Amino acid sequence: MNKENALEKLKAYENTLFALNHAQGLIYYDGATTAPETSALIRGNTLGELSRISYELSTAPENIEMLEYLLSIKSELHPINAREAEELYRDYDIIRKIPIKEYVDYQKLISDADAVWHKAKENNDFASFEPYLQKIFDSNIRFSAYIDSTKKPYDIALDLYERGLTSEVCDAFFTNLRKKLVPLVHAVSEADQIDDSPLLQDFPVDKQRGFSSYLIDILGIDRRSCIISETEHPFTIQFSKKDVRITTHYYENQLSSSLYSVVHEGGHALYELGIGDELMNTCLEKGVSMAIHESQSRFYENIIGRSREFCELILQYLKRCFPKQLKDIDTDRFYKMINKSEPSLIRTEADELTYCMHIMIRYELEKAMFDGDIKAHDLPSEWNRLYKEYLGVVVPDDRHGVLQDSHWSNGNIGYFPSYAFGSAYGAQILDTMNKEINVYSEVKNKNIKAINEWNREHIWKYGSMYNPTELFKKVCGKFNPDFYIRYLQKKYSEIYGISI
């Protein structure tokens, strides 16, 4: 084998991998959006068969030989080709340790579980979902042992979403947040409370859909490559930088829900759409990690989307859509309503200040499951206990409790801490960005493009060319959660007129 021959094989290998991933992604997207309920009966088998083909392709001796050869001459390769070989070999080194039957059965399991979860949430029926959830956790614990039996199983799960992340790092991070933010949460709860009832009136869904379209344009999302649809739990899926799809869920009596769902998912979409053209059709054509990805979605949702300047920008359009509901609302009141902080039940509706409490609860439950301290049967009661302990709220039912997120039904265990780290990354990115452009002045002037261009140049264009820690350090220097803590302290002390 020579270099030219190996690079040709690399290209052919990635083309086939892309086709398989594309097909699996489309089937999942269809199932989560428009597919009829009974389609779940065949979807799992199809996804299982495609995963079998993908497994066999990834572990085929000729492909491993090709990757090993390219790695042996890495110094001679273009940086993109060298990185491709590294990433594909890493994927192989993980998947080869999982027996093929267990791998295929797991793909079927999470497809079936997702369909069961949708129905269980609708009917407030955790019992129907419980056996699937236990099997999903059992599989992930077993897979972790296959991958590296010398490490804590949960650390393996965390690493799959954020390379290098461990429970030790998470424990230190969350302890720091609790110590410095809980006093602020208490001070806010004792201050005069904000009346956000104008946002809880009747807001017809058809007009909300029109507003979502406006938001897509304001964010600068290329409509030729991105569409928006509806689902139970909003998500973004990327097939390539030329095909990114976001979803939302509308509530007639809760205007801010879809508003910030669209902006959040729009942040994910902008990242994928902004990846460099030179990475197209490679395994590097994707965001590098979930925490970096969430740094973008949370940045647009909260740091930009909940800023006074953005509130002023969108309020006039909203008042045209809903003149009766918002006729007496000015920018200052709208800004305060949008940023109202109070303990709540639903993670996706949580304010910036209490949001990480929701993540800590999920983190502790996942860790307890991996440590064998609890089983799936215990999750509802443990969930309810922690919500009472951490947020002081009583969970009325499982639909508003343990069934609210889709992540576990999709096998995304170890993902949740990425939201908290991503939020903290976003605050440090803001500080760095402000040294080059005046972020909020640009928002006030309707120039989101300038912010997008900065993110594209510093983060998006690199796709998966760098490891997440390496990329973040390249952009912002060493990660320091105090940027996030100071950001929240400043914002909420001003909104509530308190001193910290």
What is d(CA 215, CA 228) in angstroms, rounded to the nearest whole number? 11
Q: CA–CA separation, 249 vs 243, rounded Å?
A: 21
**Residue 244, SS3?**
strand
3-state SS, residue 302: helix
Residue 271 contacts residue 287 (beta carbons within 8 Å): yes
Q: How many CA atoms lie within 13 A of 452 on its CB side?
A: 20
Residue 35 per-residue DSSP state: S
250 contacts: CB under 8 Å, gap ≥ 6:
205, 208, 209, 230, 257, 258
Closest residue by Cα to residue 479 from 400, 422, 437: 422
Q: DSSP letter string over 359-417?
A: HHHHHHHHHHHHHTS--GGGHHHHHHHHHHHHH------GGGTTTS-STGGGT-TT-TH
- Distance between CA 376 and CA 379 in Å, rounded? 5
| 347-382: burial string, b at 16+ Cβ within 10 Å, e else | bbbbbbbbbbbbbbbbbbbbbbbbeeebebeebbeb
Helices 126-147, 100-123: axis angle to 10 degrees equals: 150
230 tagged catalytic:
no
**Look-up of token digits 């996804």:** 47
Q: Check 265, 301, 352, 366 and give the catalytic one.
A: 265
Task: Determine which helix (DSSP H) or strand (DSSP E) holds 132, and give its type and residue range.
Answer: helix 126-147
Provide the sign of the torsion angle of the four alpha carbons 128, 132, 134, 137, taken in this order: negative
- Token digits of residue 56: 């066999």
Rounded CA gap, 370 and 111, in Å? 22
Q: Which residues are catalytic?
A: 265
